[in-house]
Amino acid sequence: MSIQFKTIKELSSMLRSKEISNHELTKETFNLIESYKHLNAFITLNKERALIKASELDKNSSELSLSGIPIAQKDLFVTKDLRTTCGSNMLSNFIPPYSATVIENLEAAGCISIGKTNMDEFAMGSSNETSFYGNVLNPWGQNLVPGGSSGGSAAAVAAGIVSAATGTDTGGSIRQPASLCGITGIKPTYGRISRWGMVAFASSLDQAGPMARTAEDCAILMNEMCSHDPKDTTSLDEDVPDFTKGIDAPIKGLKIGIVKEFDLSKLDSNVVKVFEDSKKHYESLGVEFVEVSLPNINLSVPTYYVVAPAECSSNLSRFDGVRYGNRCDDPKDLEDLYIRSRSEGFGDEVKRRILIGSYVLSAGFYDAYYKKAQQVRRLIKNDFDNAFEKVDLIMSPTTRGAAFEAGSMSDPIEMYLEDLFTVPANLAGLPGISIPNGHVDNKPLGLQLIANSLQESLLFNVAHNFQMTTDWHLKTPSLEAK
């Protein structure tokens, strides 16, 4: 019995009706991982423990919402007694003594963590080409990138290996790979999901979130991932609603903003057509579109690439070859230990961002760069606040285009521009979702919706309405097992 491309809802129904056992489901998931290992979506598998938990669930059935559902965990979440590498040589042998709150919450809801997915090193990248463990391949085409940094999670869901996976989003790292792989992914409001145990890249921007085939499945996952966590000082002490409640309510009368400053004429005409077709579809559902102005939005990418590297250089200073992580052989002295351990442990993109971050935080340049970037960030947030006085949501393409070939984008600045539409939501701490809305040259594209703080339920509602009346989220790649 095939479990490939099934949703959480479908798998849960199969388990409850005894159409398949927990052990059979978990075993078949590992068979799919083996069949599509050429995608390089996983770094470390959790096979023995996963099968034991599945057998226990067969003996003692559970009514938990995620009981028996195999979920792939991004390798940025520390997982007790399971190697956690962050896609880096620096942590190639790191076995954490505890699990991240996200992992604990999902496993408490009954899920089976099947393994850790490949990712850009320390979540720094937009194509999953910076991983120490090699590129992840997009199931939609030969040598296509899956996007980053949550590319392994996106590829695993897109290939139908798992129904859901966890991701993290610092500047678009859930939404961008979701777009390029033709799945659904949401970055919640900053602080909505605990960052405890999520290895930090840029602490004021990082946010965990779910990736799945449908908005409804993402809502099911969000119900369990969210919680106030006293261990995380940025965790919001807010009631967690049932994100699935009212998800299919009609959306007639909603106002969606189109950003005046986003010049779509610079995009490929086919990409623009897909976006315009999505607007027309929403209009057929009773939505009204309103032009809004975000005057400082075009400063988002340069602002992000000052703030994020600055915070990265601070966070990654803990990897010094002393306490844990890569340690060079036979250091001559302490300085040699630091230099060689970090030089051997970090890849080029991580080194690049550490250098940029150290520069903008240095005494002579702090006011000119980092302080100024934080001031511009506040202006961007103010622009969103003003826009949400007029509209309920803001809509844009998720990415500038469809997936590109690995190795085809060698200019780091050009790669940074891949985050053009996604970065603003991170700078403002707002929730954003990407849903499949079309294809260009048989490659998927995503549509981005951004809401005001804590309005994830509205995002799920509007995304679900689109998915109830279109079939883009049901499209699957033509895959050959190897």
- Closest to 381 in 3D by CA, of 189, 240, 232: 189
pLDDT of residue 1: 65
- Closest to 287 in 3D by CA, of 431, 176, 449: 449
Cβ neighbours, 10 Å, residue 432: 31
pLDDT per residue, tens digit, the chain (482 aa), is: 689 999 999 999 999 999 999 999 999 999 999 999 999 999 999 999 999 999 999 998 888 999 999 999 999 999 999 999 999 999 999 999 999 999 999 999 999 999 999 999 999 999 999 999 999 999 999 899 999 999 999 999 999 999 999 999 999 999 999 999 999 999 999 999 999 999 999 999 999 999 999 999 999 999 999 999 999 999 999 999 999 999 999 999 999 999 999 989 889 999 999 999 999 999 999 999 999 999 999 999 999 999 999 999 999 999 999 988 999 999 999 999 999 999 999 999 999 999 999 999 998 899 999 999 999 999 999 999 999 999 999 999 999 999 999 999 878 778 888 888 999 999 999 999 999 999 999 999 999 999 999 999 999 999 999 999 999 999 999 887 77
CATH (one of 3.90.1200.10, 3.40.50.1820, 3.90.1300.10, 3.30.70.100) for 8-250+454-474: 3.90.1300.10
Could you tell me if 301 and 417 are in contact, meaning their C-beta atoms sit under 8 angstroms apart?
Answer: yes
pLDDT of residue 60: 86
CA distance 261 to 299: 11
3-state SS string for 138-187: CCCCCCECCCCCCHHHHHHHHCCCCCEEEEECCCCCCHHHHHHHCCEEEE
Residue type, 443: K
List, by residue number, the catalytic residues: 74, 149, 173
Query: Which single residue is written with the structure tokens 């060698």?
Result: 410
Helix axes 22-35, 8-16, angle to 10 degrees: 140
Q: Judging by DSSP bridges, how do beta strands 432-440 and 184-187 pair with one another?
A: antiparallel
What predicted TM-score, i.e. pTM, was given to this entire model?
0.96
Cβ neighbours, 10 Å, residue 401: 17
Could you tell me if 443 and 140 are in contact, meaning their C-beta atoms sit under 8 angstroms apart?
Answer: yes
pLDDT of residue 52: 97
Parse the chain into domains and list their residue ranges: 8-250+454-474
CA distance 109 to 124: 30
Q: Judging by DSSP bridges, how do beta strands 288-292 and 184-187 pair with one another?
A: unpaired
pLDDT of residue 416: 80
Per the structure block, which two tokens stand in for 439?
């294809």
Q: Where are the alpha helices (DSSP H) in 252-347?
A: 269-284, 300-315, 334-345
Residues 6+ apart with CB under 8 A from 284: none
- Closest to 457 in 3D by CA, of 238, 134, 218: 218
Could you tell me if 178 and 165 are in contact, meaning their C-beta atoms sit under 8 angstroms apart?
Answer: no
